[in-house]
Amino acid sequence: MKRLLLLNGPNLNRLGKREPSIYGSTTLDDVHAEIKELTAAYGWELDTFQSNHEGELIDCLQDAEDKYQGVVFNPGAYTHTSIAIRDAISGLDVPVIEVHISNIHQREAFRHHSMLAPVCYGQVVGLGTTGYRLAALAFLEENKKG
Ligand code: CA2
């Protein structure tokens, strides 16, 4: 069975509970449930993981090797700072799509640059939590083609 990993970085456990004007009112549990339903409709399994700790995210990416057809990853603020996460993605044989709920290009200058985008398969930005769905669909539809 094909498998997708949905990975979220720091503070995203607070999704839907704080700052709804930026991040909306959908919780991370809601996102997990929605993507679970979507992947199941394609006959895929979904694993989810969220951590506020850089090393745990790196461990999770390393463990993803050979287990998944794709990773949908919102790295939170580590997007803009983490060479270590970039190295983990770069050394991984599984494609990663970077997702941002907000439009990072409309926000503070320090959010405009992603350390990770150059080593990711793709990027979805600024479409709210629908971005997770679109990233998952990219893998689901791409793999359907054989
Ligand atoms: O737009 C995104 O998805 C971000 O990855 C979110 C990060 C931010 O540092 C990135 O620049 C863009 C922050 C995640 C914080 O999530 C919260 C959600 C609700 C309430 C408080 C924080």
Please give the model's pTM, rounded to 2 decimal places: 0.97
Q: Is the CB of 77 under 6 A from ligand 1?
A: yes
Give me the mean pLDDT over the 68-95 stretch.
Answer: 98
pLDDT grade for 145, boundaries at 50, 70 and 90: confident
Helix, strand, coil % in the chain, rounded to nearest 5:
45, 20, 35
Q: Quick check: 37 and 78 in contact, CB under 8 A?
A: no
pLDDT at position 146: 63
Quote the CA–CA distance of 111 and 104 in Å, as a whole number.
Answer: 5
pLDDT digits (tens, 9 = 90+) for 100-133: 999 999 999 999 999 999 999 999 999 999 999 9
DSSP state of 81: T
pLDDT at position 18: 86
The Å distance, Cα 135 to ligand 1 centre, comes to 17
Per the annotation, the verdict on 121 as an active-site residue is no
Of 23, 68, 78, 132, the active-site residue reads: 23
Q: Quick check: 16 and 32 in contact, CB under 8 A?
A: no
| SS3 label, residue 13 | helix
Question: Which comes out higher in pLDDT, residue 144 or 102?
Answer: 102
**pLDDT, averaged across the chain:** 97
User: For residue 99, what are the β-bridge partners?
Assistant: 124
